[in-house]
């Protein structure tokens, strides 16, 4: 593909050699000759001086050094344009898993598996499981008794879905995900913990994606509920009886304690923790590493531990940075005060 052909594909204005041949994609830093790269975030502009990419897609108005000797393709939305290029150049995905049950899988005769389902090697499917059209269960997966999985789901290797849990359509579970493990519930009786039975389930609705090695505990009773369109990153913990509202995103290593209710379109950043039994309003944002100990209002942005409204938290942090200097100033005032004492009490 030539630079001219790329310009024909995504539109935009070409500056430089339209005949240069392009064979792949790469970030500005990694690119070698023949690669197409792009610049969207202006923080990366300095990389233009050093990149070896043969074509860089960038904003229509992005300023570049006068002496830059790079082939440029200027477009309105460099990110979107590059996405189209990625689709063209990306290596083909691995071949689609063939439908059918691999001879090295163990599927209970009382499971209802649609003929278009692909069950990879070393999968265990227990009795009364149902799996819908076109779903792929990756190698080494485990589906417990009575679990139900919808259509067009893709489970990567080593996924566990325990008994009676419900998974909707088009759900993606990455390697090592655990759905339906017991909630952490005990009664402390006579100095010992006695296990509280966790007889509920996890319900995962349509279009959810859950990252590698994340864990979602089943309800003590009732359900832990991950609603439509929720996106969960890697190594996230979701405790029993939590509800995560539609289109909410939870970044890596965050932890949601038991019975917390999370609204729609909430953004939970990395390593956030929440206590149990609180409510996070629709559209709220919990900034990274926050420890959230109280309800968060609709649309509110909080951070810190205990998490406060963002403006308040920022004010506090700014004040904190001036604290050592303040102590100095206070000392000075006290000294002046002391010096003047004799004069004021004559």
Which positions from 265 to 304 touch its own copies by CB under 8 A, shown as an x/- string? x----xx-x-x-x----------xx-x------------x
Among 50, 63, 109, 324, which residue interacts with its own copies (rule: CB under 8 A)? 324
**Number of residues counted as binding its own copies (CB under 8 A):** 114
CA distance 308 to 300: 10
Q: Between 65 and 79, name the residue whose CB sits nearer to its own copies.
A: 79
Catalytic residue among 114, 145, 174, 240: 240
Burial letters 260-278, b for 16+ CB under 10 A, else e: bbbbbebebbbbbbbeeeb
110 makes contact with its own copies (CB under 8 A): no
CA distance 127 to 111: 5
Picking from 271, 304, 305, 265, the residue whose alpha carbon sits closest to that of residue 285 is 265
116 makes contact with its own copies (CB under 8 A): no
The least CB distance from residue 269 to its own copies, in Å, is 9
91 makes contact with its own copies (CB under 8 A): yes
Q: Which stretch binds its own copies (CB under 8 A): 50-58, 64-72, 111-119, 176-184?
A: 176-184
Please, where are the H alpha helices in the chain? 3-10, 78-89, 310-321, 323-344
Q: Between 18 and 289, name the residue whose CB sits nearer to its own copies.
A: 289
Considering only residues 182 through 201, tell me which ones interact with its own copies, judged by CB under 8 A: 182, 184, 186, 191-193, 195-197, 199
Compute the half-sphere exposure of residue 206: CA atoms within 13 Å on the CB side of its CA: 4
Q: Between 64 and 172, name the residue whose CB sits nearer to its own copies.
A: 172
The least CB distance from residue 154 to its own copies, in Å, is 10
Considering only residues 213 through 252, tell me which ones interact with its own copies, judged by CB under 8 A: 213, 215, 217, 219, 221-223, 229, 231, 233-235, 237, 239, 241, 247, 249, 251-252
Instruction: State the pairing for strand pair 231-232/249-250.
Output: parallel
Strands (E) located in 63-191: 72-75, 100-101, 106-107, 112-113, 118-119, 124-125, 130-131, 136-137, 142-143, 148-149, 154-155, 160-161, 166-167, 172-173, 178-181, 186-189
Considering only residues 28 through 87, tell me which ones interact with its own copies, judged by CB under 8 A: 29-30, 41, 43, 83, 86-87
Considering only residues 128 through 157, tell me which ones interact with its own copies, judged by CB under 8 A: 138-140, 142, 144-146, 156-157
Q: Between 3 and 238, name the residue whose CB sits nearer to its own copies.
A: 238
CA distance 161 to 156: 12
Maximum CA pair distance of the chain?
Answer: 103
Annotated catalytic residue 102 = no
Q: Between 94 and 109, name the residue whose CB sits nearer to its own copies.
A: 94
316 makes contact with its own copies (CB under 8 A): yes
Q: Between 7 and 251, name the residue whose CB sits nearer to its own copies.
A: 251
114 makes contact with its own copies (CB under 8 A): no
CA distance 243 to 236: 14
- Radius of gyration of the chain from Cα atoms? 28
33 burial (CB, 10 Å; 0-12 / 13-18 / 19+) is exposed
Supply the residues annotated as catalytic: 240
């Amino acid at each position: 593909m030539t630079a001219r052909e790329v310009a024909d594909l995504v539109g935009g204005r070409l500056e430089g050699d339209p005949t240069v041949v392009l064979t792949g994609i790469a970030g500005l830093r990694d690119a070698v000759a023949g690669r197409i790269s792009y610049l969207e975030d202006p923080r990366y502009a300095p990389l233009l001086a050093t990149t070896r990419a043969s074509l860089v897609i960038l904003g229509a108005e992005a300023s570049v050094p006068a002496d830059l000797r790079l082939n440029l393709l200027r477009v309105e939305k460099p990110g979107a344009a590059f996405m189209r290029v990625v689709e063209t150049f990306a290596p083909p995905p691995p071949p689609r898993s063939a439908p059918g049950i691999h001879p090295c899988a163990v599927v209970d005769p009382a499971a209802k598996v649609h003929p278009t389902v692909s069950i990879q090697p070393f999968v265990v499917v227990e009795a009364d499981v149902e799996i819908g059209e076109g779903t792929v269960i990756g190698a080494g997966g485990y589906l417990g008794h009575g679990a139900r999985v919808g259509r067009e789901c893709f489970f990567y290797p080593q996924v566990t879905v325990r008994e009676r849990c419900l998974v909707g359509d088009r759900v993606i579970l990455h390697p090592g995900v655990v759905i339906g493990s017991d909630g952490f519930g005990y009664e402390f009786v006579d100095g010992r913990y006695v296990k509280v039975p966790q007889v509920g389930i996890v319900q995962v609705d349509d279009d959810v994606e859950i990252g590698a090695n994340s864990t979602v505990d089943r309800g003590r009773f009732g359900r832990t509920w991950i609603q439509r369109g929720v996106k969960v990153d890697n190594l996230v913990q979701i405790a029993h009886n939590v509800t995560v509202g539609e289109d909410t995103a939870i970044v890596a290593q965050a932890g949601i304690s038991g019975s917390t209710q999370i609204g729609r379109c909430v953004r939970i950043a990395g390593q956030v923790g929440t206590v149990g039994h609180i409510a996070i309003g629709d559209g709220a944002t919990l900034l990274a590493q926050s420890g959230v100990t109280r309800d968060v209002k609709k649309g509110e942005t909080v951070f810190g531990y205990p998490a406060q409204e963002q403006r308040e938290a920022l004010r506090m942090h700014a004040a904190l940075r001036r604290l050592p200097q303040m102590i100095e100033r206070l000392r000075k005032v006290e000294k002046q005060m002391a010096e003047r004492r004799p004069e004021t009490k004559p």
